[in-house]
Chains A and B, each alone.
Chain A
């Protein structure tokens, strides 16, 4: 880069000055930004002036060395994005740590009984004693077990709704529907995904709870309704990811099958679905992840209850899930309760993030397989 460049007019321009100047600009920008971030982390009061300084330095640099500054800015954007992920992970764990240290495994155990022993949960006993208190911040009972169970039940019901319906929906869009119909239904499914969860929650709160009272003899909120609603909410995710997987199977494969006189349904069963199988399972996993993380609809439909269902499969029971626990308890929680809520947050984060990573892995493997074929 330090070679001299001879222009047409014969003048010799040294690029050394330019490179040095650019280096200074880039280094200054990076430094001011680093200081800004440190200031924000440890001395928030001076973060804003530092940010202004950064903006000023960047603006000056932009005018003089646009290409280099643009490059460092995109790098900074990347670093900040990565930092965001890092910060989220770090701060969640950091805030949850005291609760881990204080309570340890108690968070996952049935609280102490009269004989002073805490017990592992339900695989030892088919029905848990309903008199032990699982969650009572005042007396220091912090067991997340009922909430975990609530999350599991809601997710299972949601999966039972979203899985098969989603698969059929994806088949319909990618294989059965005519082009015009697909142009209507595909955006329709996306819009269904866009309905805010609080709207679902409000419908559940106002209407479905009454519906279940008259039709299922229940006193209101229940796993069944929450699970059905969350299932409908997870449905678009399953449909659109599954549809992507199905339509990434090369058209020529299906053509080959149909040209031999196989029906479209035989083609779907023996060619498209097996080839897209991993993509479809990724879709279901992502849908389940969505169901686990769903907060507002669940919180609106069943906001209270911290005891186990009895028997465990009682789908008419209601208690909070991990997400709705955080949403409903955070506002009025004491410091030590907040820490336990962060433990719940960490659980959600780890579970859903790992589901997403697994789904991505499966999808990538499938893409590679389909590409390798061609």
Chain B
């Protein structure tokens, strides 16, 4: 009478309890130990010279039941490059989209917490989204030019804001801004280092450009609105190395005048171009935020060190 019990009792229940175990282990990980809490306090007080452009406090995001971002707080300094790194699915893109309320477009998302742009709460119910997004521009992961000409792509924003008027009515009122538009297009394209390549075909469809050119067009389009902050969501992930290096140079150039927040999964890239780095790890947590040199040389948290040295991804 061997009392052998085979665990092959039921596939069904096995998977169920398997999931339970998984969530259990996950929650033990996420309810951080005391040492983690101490480190978090340390970086929360991360200090930089000058005042903050954006200050985020206790930001939480849910997609339905999924808690995508947990209690993120950080301050982003003016005219610098801040890199957000972390494994895929850690919530860094979600976080970026919170900074100019692009998550409002995802209707299942629920956001809790506070983000202030130079002291003004952007999640105020009376916030002017048009104004907000004029001041905080965004460049996306894959280039997304409009199916219009290069010129129209650049002047799209100012035209929608009524800063440039064209067309029948504008001519009727004597407020035709074609010349102003030309200046703006040239200036923006030069800023994005694209002018030399496209100056002779401004009326061609933007979809005819190469991937790298399209992405720089998107940056130029964003600059044409004259934002204060530029959010970049892995802007080089869909590009080849040459195009990537062009974008990186561009980012460095931009940081002289603009506050740049850039998401990347490429740690070398973060190390090369950023002034400070925030590391997100699985579960939507901000684990550490500090000067880039500090993060890459002597991180406080063991988890960050493991991630940076590639032990954990």
In their complex, do chains A and B touch, with some C-beta pair under 8 Å? Answer: yes
A positions within 8 Å CB-CB of B:
178-180, 250-263, 266, 270-271, 274-275, 369, 372-374
With A and B bound together, what is the CA distance between A372 and B207 in angstroms?
9
Q: Cβ of A260 and Cβ of B142 under 8 Å apart?
A: no
Q: Which of B102, B108, B131, B142 contacts A259 (CB 8 A)?
A: B102
> How far apart are A164's CB and chain B's nearest CB, in angstroms?
24
Q: Is B151 an interface residue (CB 8 A)?
A: no
Given A178-B107, A270-B156, residue A260 in contact with residue B144 (CB < 8 A): no
Expressed in whole angstroms, the minimum distance between the Cβ of A191 and any Cβ of chain B is: 22
Q: Does B87 contact A (CB under 8 A)?
A: no
- Pick the contact of B100: A253, A259, A275 (CB < 8 A): A259
Assess A260 versus B221: contact at CB under 8 Å? Given A178-B107, A179-B107, A271-B146: yes
Is B311 an interface residue when CB atoms closer than 8 A count as contact?
no
Cα separation A179 to B110 with both chains bound (whole Å): 12
Q: How far is the CB of B232 from chain A (nearest CB, A)?
A: 11
The reply to whether A260 and B156 form a contact with Cβ atoms under 8 Å apart is yes
Chain B residues with CB under 8 Å of chain A are 100, 102, 105, 107-108, 129-134, 137-138, 140, 142, 144-147, 156-157, 160-161, 207, 218, 221-222, 225
Assuming the contacts A258-B105, A259-B100, asked whether A373 and B157 have C-beta atoms less than 8 A apart, the reply is no
13 A-B pairs within 8 Å (CB atoms) are namely: A251-B105, A256-B140, A256-B145, A256-B221, A258-B102, A259-B102, A259-B137, A261-B130, A261-B132, A262-B157, A275-B147, A369-B147, A374-B142
Q: Is the CB of B138 within 8 A of A263?
A: no
Residues of B within 8 Å of A250, CB to CB, are: 144
A168 to B207, CA, bound (A): 29
Which of A180, A258, A260, A263 has its CB near the most chain B CB atoms (within 10 A)? A260
CB nearest to B142 among chain A residues: A252
Contacts of B134 in A (CB 8 A): 260-261
From B108, B131, B140, B207, give the contact of A261 (CB < 8 A): B131
> How far is A275 from B225 in the complex, measured between Cα atoms in Å?
23
A263 touching B102 by the CB < 8 A rule? no
Give the residue name and chain of the B residue nearest to A178 (CB): B107
Report chain A residues within 8 Å CB of B131.
Answer: 261
Known: A260-B225, A261-B157, A262-B156. 19 other contacts (CB 8 A): A255-B102, A256-B140, A256-B218, A256-B221, A257-B156, A258-B105, A259-B138, A259-B140, A260-B133, A260-B137, A260-B222, A261-B130, A261-B132, A266-B160, A270-B146, A275-B147, A369-B147, A372-B207, A373-B147
Taking a contact as CB atoms closer than 8 A, the residue among A179, A261, A274 that contacts B225 in the complex is: A261
A261 B218 Cβ-Cβ under 8 A: no
Specify which chain B residues have a CB less than 8 angstroms from the CB of A270 in the assembled complex.
Answer: 146, 156, 160
Which of the listed residues A251, A256, A262 has the most CB atoms from chain B within 10 Å of its own CB? Answer: A256
Q: Which 8 A-B pairs have the closest CB atoms?
A: A259-B138, A260-B157, A261-B134, A261-B133, A252-B144, A179-B107, A262-B160, A256-B144
Shortest C-beta distance, B122 to chain A (Å), equals 13
Given contacts A178-B107, A256-B140, whether A261 and B146 have CB atoms under 8 Å apart is: no
Interface centre among B100, B105, B138 (most CB of A within 10 A): B105
Could you tell me the distance between the alpha carbons of A250 and B222 in the complex, rounded to whole angstroms?
Answer: 19
Q: Provide the bound-state CA to CA distance between A258 and B100, in Å.
A: 10
Chain A nearest Cβ from B218, distance in angstroms? 7
Interchain CA distance A271-B146 in the complex, whole Å: 7
A141 to B104, CA, bound (A): 66
* Across-interface contacts of B138 in A (CB, < 8 A): 255, 259
Assembled-state Cα–Cα distance A320/B152 (Å): 52
Cβ A255 vs Cβ B105 within 8 A: yes
Residues from chain B with Cβ under 8 Å of A258 in the complex = 102, 105, 133
Chain B residues whose C-beta falls within 8 Å of the C-beta of A252 in the assembled complex: 140, 142, 144
Bound Cα distance from A274 to B205, whole angstroms? 15
Bound Cα distance from A43 to B137, whole angstroms = 75
By a CB distance below 8 angstroms, the chain B residues around A369 are 147
Closest approach, in angstroms, between the C-beta of B96 and any C-beta of chain A? 11
B105 touches A260 (CB 8 A): no
What residues on B are CB-neighbors of A261 within 8 Å? 129-134, 157, 160-161, 225
In the complex the two chains form, what is the Cα distance from A263 to B133 in whole Å? 10
With most chain B CB atoms within 10 A of its CB, the pick from A179, A254, A255 is A255
| Shortest beta-carbon distance from B136 to chain A in Å | 9
Give the residues in chain A near B132, CB-CB below 8 Å. 261
A254 close to B225 (CB less than 8 A): no
Q: List, in ascending order, chain A residues with CB within 8 A of B145's CB.
A: 256
With A and B bound together, what is the CA distance between A262 and B152 in angstroms?
14
Which residues of chain A are within 8 angstroms of B156 by Cβ–Cβ distance? 257, 260, 262, 270
- Min CB–CB distance A56 → chain B (angstroms): 39
A274 to B146, alpha carbons, bound, how many Å? 11
Q: Which residues of chain B have C-beta atoms less than 8 A from A271's C-beta?
A: 146
A residues near B144, Cβ cutoff 8 Å: 250, 252-253, 255-256
Chain B residues with Cβ below 8 Å from A253 are 144, 146-147
B-side contacts of A374, CB under 8 Å: 142
Closest to A372 in B: B207
Output the nearest chain A residue to B158 by Cβ-Cβ distance: A260
In angstroms, Cα B146 to Cα A90, docked, is 48
Known A-B contacts A252-B142, A271-B146; the reply to A259 vs B133 at CB < 8 A is yes
Q: Which residues of B contact A372 (CB under 8 A)?
A: 207
The interface residues of chain A lying within 8 Å CB-to-CB of B108 are 179
A249 nearest in chain B by CB position:
B147
What residues on B are CB-neighbors of A180 within 8 Å? 107
Are B107's CB and A255's CB within 8 A? Answer: no
Specify which of A254, A266, A274, A275 is in contact with B105 (CB 8 Å cutoff). A254
Q: In the docked arrangement, what's the CA distance between A252 and B137, Å?
A: 15
- Considering residues A254, A274, A373, which has the most beta carbons from chain B within 10 angstroms of its beta carbon? A373
Residue of B nearest to A254 (CB): B105
Q: Are A260 and B102 in contact (CB under 8 A)?
A: no
